[in-house]
């Protein structure tokens, strides 16, 4: 048996530019991804990183320009129908008919999968109960909360007991409680041996759920590993300096870049600058001294362990834009 539930190699996809209309946009620039059987793998990236494009290719809804996709040992490009039968896909935009009750929605999907009337009803009963929708089973699903609709959508993707489940941003737009409920369901799913690939913009979500995280930005993989490995590989501490009054931005960035161990960055309209530093206080002291020698006054500074968001920002803010590169 293959070690991987999903194996993706060298995926590229460029949109647009057909019939002379619009500039072509390279959404994927050679993505590799391996999801081990029985694990949760998070594809993490900011808006427009290429997450949905990747999962659409894996789900056989979109053909890549180049690359290979294997799902449970089947070549997805050669035999998409077989792959479709072995995966469940649950999307950002829940495929739920609001006029049908939760139970009717599930029974309809089960019928579409070819289950006989009685078996379809029984499977719907089972999933309604597993997904804690019993109280709402006979209400039109348009009356459901966002969290309930997501649960119903996820339940629908599990009708045929797929070995691989792909979840595209399963908790975007949910409140913290809805998010945690979804996490519990996903953990439960994987405990039964299902392999899960989920896309997310939330590092916290990847941290909570995923065995392995692949970070993608502008269509390229920028990091891969366990949450702990990503945090350890990202520079261990972050120096923040607050600048007093006017300062020479280019010189400041040059000093931070020289002594820091990563790209300096600043949030919009802020006098504070951040740079990862490899040697904690020693690097911080060297930077403050160098800034002072260059005539720039630091009004305040802190040396902190990076937050998860800082790790993410640091990883994704330095990715070269393949489209800009090509245009240059
Ligand atoms: N059908 C399409 N035609 C043209 N461009 C597209 C198409 N689909 C996606 N893109 C572009 O490809 C890039 C990657 O999009 P994709 O939806 O995969 O990103 P994402 O990481 O899923 O983002 P989000 O978190 O916003 O859903 C974006 O720049 C997007 O505008």
Kindly give, in sequence order, each residue whose CB lies less than 8 Å from that of residue 289, ignoring residues fewer than 6 positions away.
Answer: none
What is the rounded distance in angstroms from the CA atom of residue 177 to the CA atom of residue 179? 5
Question: Average pLDDT, stretch 26-32?
Answer: 94
Assigned CATH for 4-100+143-231: 3.40.50.300
pLDDT at 256 over 90: yes
Mean pLDDT score, 66-79? 96
The domain locations on the chain are 4-100+143-231, 235-305
Number of the ligand 1 atom closest to the C-alpha atom of 55: 18
pLDDT, mean of residues 213-236: 83
Task: Return d(Cα 241, Cα 299) in angstroms, integer.
Answer: 8
Residue 312 confidence (pLDDT) above 70: yes
The residue whose CA has the least distance to atom 4 of ligand 1 is 15
Report the nearest atom of ligand 1 relative to the CA of 50. Answer: 18
Task: Give residue 10 CA to ligand 1 midpoint distance, Å.
Answer: 18
Tell me phi and psi for residue 236, to 5 degrees. -70, -30
* Mean pLDDT (whole number) for 260-277: 85
Q: Which residues pair with 14 in a beta bridge?
A: 26
Give tens-digit pLDDT for 288-305. 999 989 888 899 999 886
For residue 313, the number of C-alpha atoms closer than 13 Å in the C-beta half-sphere is: 14
Residue with more model confidence, 313 or 3: 3
What does the longest C-alpha to C-alpha distance in the chain come to?
A: 80
What are the tens digits of pLDDT across the range 179-202?
Answer: 998 999 999 999 999 999 999 988
Number of alpha carbons in the 13 Å side-chain half-sphere of residue 226: 5
Please determine, for residue 235, whether its predicted confidence score (pLDDT) is greater than 60.
Answer: no
Residue 67 class from Cβ within 10 Å (0-12 exposed, 13-18 middle, 19+ buried)? middle
Atom 5 of ligand 1: nearest residue by CA position: 15
| Residue 246 pLDDT | 79
Letter string b/e over residues 3-36, b meaning 16 or more CB atoms within 10 A of that residue's CB? ebbbbbeebbbbeeeeeeeeeeebbbbebebbbb
Q: Could you give the CA distance from residue 303 to residue 277 in angstroms, rounded to a whole number?
A: 9
Range in 17-26, 126-135, 228-237, 317-326 with the lowest mean pLDDT: 317-326
Closest CA to 291 of 245, 236, 246, 254: 254
Q: Which CATH architecture has domain 235-305?
A: 2-Layer Sandwich (3.30)
Q: Does residue 262 or residue 169 have the better pLDDT?
A: 169
DSSP string for residues in 232-252: HHS-SEEEEEEEPS---HHHH
**How many Cα atoms occupy the beta-carbon half-sphere of 159 within 13 Å?**
26
Site residues for ligand 1, CB cut-off 6 Å: 15-16, 25, 27, 45, 47-53, 201
In this prediction, residue 328 carries a pLDDT of 41
Reported as a single tens digit per residue, the pLDDT across 84-132 is 989 999 876 557 889 999 999 999 999 988 999 999 999 999 999 999 9
What is the mean pLDDT of the segment spanning 203-207? 87
* Atom number of ligand 1 nearest to Cα 28: 14
Nearest CA to ligand 1 atom 29: 48
Is residue 70 within a helix (H) or strand (E), and if so which, with residue range? strand 66-71
């Amino acid at each position: 048996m293959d070690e991987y539930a999903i194996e993706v190699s060298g995926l590229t996809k460029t949109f647009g530019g057909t019939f002379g209309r619009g500039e072509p946009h390279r959404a994927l620039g050679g993505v590799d991804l391996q999801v081990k059987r029985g694990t949760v793998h998070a594809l993490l990236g900011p808006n427009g990183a290429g997450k949905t494009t990747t999962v659409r290719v894996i789900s056989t809804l979109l053909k890549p320009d180049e690359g290979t996709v294997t799902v449970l040992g089947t070549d997805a490009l050669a035999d998409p129908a077989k792959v479709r039968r072995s995966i469940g896909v649950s999307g950002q935009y829940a495929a739920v008919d609001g006029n049908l009750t939760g139970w009717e929605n599930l029974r309809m999907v089960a019928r579409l999968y070819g289950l006989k009337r009685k078996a379809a009803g029984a499977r719907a009963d089972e999933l309604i109960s597993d997904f804690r929708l019993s109280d709402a089973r006979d209400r039109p699903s348009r009356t459901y909360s966002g969290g309930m609709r997501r649960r119903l959508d996820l339940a629908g993707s599990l009708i045929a007991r797929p070995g691989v489940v792909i979840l595209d941003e399963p908790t975007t737009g949910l409140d913290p409680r809805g998010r945690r409920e979804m996490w519990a369901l996903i953990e439960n799913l994987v405990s039964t041996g299902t392999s899960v690939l989920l896309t997310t913009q939330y590092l916290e979500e990847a941290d909570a759920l995923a065995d392995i995280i692949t970070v993608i930005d502008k269509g390229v993989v920028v990091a891969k590993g366990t949450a702990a490995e990503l945090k350890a590989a990202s520079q261990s501490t972050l120096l923040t300096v607050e600048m007093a009054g006017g300062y020479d931005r280019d010189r400041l960035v040059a000093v931070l870049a020289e002594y820091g161990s990563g790209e300096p960055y600043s949030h919009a309209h802020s006098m504070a600058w951040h740079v990862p530093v490899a040697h904690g206080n020693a690097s911080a002291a060297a930077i403050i001294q160098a800034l002072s020698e260059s005539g720039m006054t630091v009004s305040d500074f802190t040396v902190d362990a990076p937050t998860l968001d800082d790790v993410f920002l640091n990883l994704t803010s330095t990715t070269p834009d393949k489209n800009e590169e090509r245009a240059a």
